A and B are shown apart, each in its own frame.
Chain A
Amino acid sequence: MSKGLSFEGEKPAIVSYFEKHYKPVELKESGWIRVRFIVNCKGQSGRFRMLESDENYKERPFDKKISNQIFTLTTQLSGWKILEEKSEAVDYYQYLLFKIKDGQIVKILP
């Protein structure tokens, strides 16, 4: 069972990071971009995979000006906490889901 998002500064820190670094793209493209990755036993993230869809949840790539930014910024985001199970640090999967409206990030989930 997931223990929720584990990040230094919690969700506001993630939101603040993207607000600071993501440059909105003036294109009428909307939908979701999910970047999934692994956080290892040292709190480092890696093995990034991206999934993009339109507003009907159909797979559809965004313009690179949007998706490259989101992917790169996610890879550079640091602050993931180490997860312990039975006092031992373990690797875990994590994803960030970006709700995009007309080239702007309107929500970051979870």
Chain B
Amino acid sequence: MLKIYLFLLLIAFQNAYAQPNCNYYKLSGDQKKYEACKAAEKREGHYQFSWAYQNALDEALAIDSTFSYAYSAKSTAYLKSGDFVTWMELMNKAVEIAPADHLDYRGWCRFQFFRDYEGAIEDILWLKKLNKNHIGFSVNGDYHLDVALALCYKATNRTDEAIIILENKMKDTQFMTGLYDHLHLGVMYLEKGDYQKASEQFKMQEQKNDLAENRFYAAITSRLSGDEDSYHFHLKMAKKHYLNGQKMFDPYTEHIDKIFLTDITNEEQKNFKPDSLHTKGYVLRRQ
């Protein structure tokens, strides 16, 4: 009975992103995969780009070439160094063997590192089909993959579809919004000219995780709504937050909707004057 309980517990851990628990394979009778998994463990403590790290994973694959985790683990060093050709070769092998286990990572990286929106959409939709819509989070934990999907739609001029995804997500009582979800939805509303909804989302972002970005876009919304006091206040806060480092940050890539200091200083020069060719809605830069 204890063995069955442990087995079930290991299945739960098996679905996590991290190194699989090797005992799962042993208990399920897959000795070859168990040995491959143990070989892969030898990479621990070594630098990801080092020979020792990569060699441990190569040894694992020599034992069992269908140990898909090893392909994925090998690939990360190549991704970080910019060798995307080798990264994709490895990830394609991982996905071919076990798509449900690796489409989340491949899809997310296609979006985050390459702005390969159509490729990311393809991977995430495939994963949704395999896992009955239970698709989990990005590897860095910042985004639910449905939010990533919405951002891909927005970037490919399908903002209306993107809004629907985010609105449905936020209606789900089981869903806890991520670090930037309200900001992104606010920017989508801003693009479509729905300034009231945009403003509400930026307020929610402020309460959850106040950044230069939500303040900047709140300032833009205020300008387009004719609220001069709020405009100056939010723009001042945007600059203050930016200079204090209170802004969107990822060590490897740039977030969608991220702003820079020049965006703030350019806006300061406008001094509440509307754009001369103003039409409803606003896009800072098409991603």
Contact = CB atoms under 8 A, between A and B. Distances in A.
Interface of A: 1-5, 9-13, 32, 34, 36, 51, 53, 56-59, 93, 95, 97, 99, 107, 109-110
A5 B262 contact: no
Given A109-B115, A109-B253, A10 B81 contact: no
A50 B83 CA distance: 10
Contacts of A5: 254
A9 B263 CA distance: 11
B197 to A, nearest CB: 28
Interface string B78-121: 00111111011100000000000000000000000111000000
| 9 A-B pairs with the lowest CB-CB distances in the bound complex, closest first | A57-B88, A95-B82, A2-B251, A110-B253, A34-B82, A10-B260, A12-B262, A59-B85, A107-B115
Interface residues of B, number: 23
A38 to B, nearest CB: 12
Contacts of B115: 99, 107, 109
B114 A109 contact: yes
A99 B114 contact: yes
22 contacts: A3-B251, A4-B250, A4-B251, A10-B262, A11-B260, A12-B262, A32-B114, A34-B82, A51-B83, A51-B85, A53-B84, A57-B84, A57-B89, A58-B85, A95-B82, A97-B113, A97-B114, A99-B115, A109-B114, A109-B115, A109-B254, A110-B113
Interface of B: 80-85, 87-89, 113-115, 249-254, 260-263, 287
A87 B254 CA distance: 26
B251 A36 contact: no
Contacts of A107: 115, 287
Contacts of B81: 36, 93, 95
Contacts of A56: 88
Given A11-B260, A99-B114, A109-B113, A2 B252 contact: yes
B262 A51 contact: no
Contacts, number: 61
Given A11-B260, A36-B82, A51-B82, 6 more contacts: A13-B262, A32-B84, A51-B85, A59-B85, A109-B114, A109-B115
A110 B254 contact: yes
A82 B113 CA distance: 24
Contacts of B261: 10
Given A32-B114, A109-B115, A109-B253, A9 B84 contact: no
Contacts of A12: 260, 262-263
B82 A1 contact: no
A53 B110 CA distance: 14
Nearest to B83: A51
Contacts of A13: 262
A2 B252 CA distance: 6
Nearest to A60: B85
B123 to A, nearest CB: 13
A1 B251 contact: yes
B122 to A, nearest CB: 12
Of the listed residues B82, B85, B89, the one surrounded by the most CB atoms of chain A closer than 10 A to its CB is B82
